[in-house]
Amino acid sequence: MDLSDCIDDPSIESEFARTYKYIDLYLQQKTDLFLQYYVLEPFDFLFKRTMCLSVIVTLLAAGTLALVIGVILLLSTVVPLWAALLIMGAVIFALGGCIAHIVLSNKIVLKTPTAEMINNGKP
């Protein structure tokens, strides 16, 4: 018995079925990667940032309110109350503008494969 007699050439139908299976598997993998990188991770990123932001904003608002009231009352011992309110309003306005400029000037870059390739210096 010859070894070449045992090996059957695959038919066109089985080749087509195998090719179809590989294409289907490829599309499933690409779809899963697309969903992971471009749908699920941005929502996860935004959810975490929103939760952190809500806690930080609450703490900053309470601390700022207490600090502003204390500084206004301290300044009102030296200058009239209306002048202390104007001074604190100007300081808060300038500080808020500086913080907004710092926070909003940074670009948000999600960790997608394309962004990682660009950050690593690959074209």
CA–CA dist 69, 83 (Å, integer): 14
Report pTM. Answer: 0.41
| Average confidence (pLDDT) over 72-87 | 85
Using DSSP's 3-state secondary structure scheme, residue 40 falls into helix
Q: Which two tokens stand for residue 118?
A: 């660009």
CA–CA dist 68, 62 (Å, integer): 10
pLDDT of residue 1: 45
Instruction: Please report which confidence band the pLDDT of residue 114 belongs to, taking 50, 70 and 90 as the band edges.
Output: low
Q: Which two tokens stand for residue 115?
A: 């962004």
pLDDT of residue 113: 66
The CA dihedral of 6, 10, 13, 19, to the nearest 10 degrees, is 140
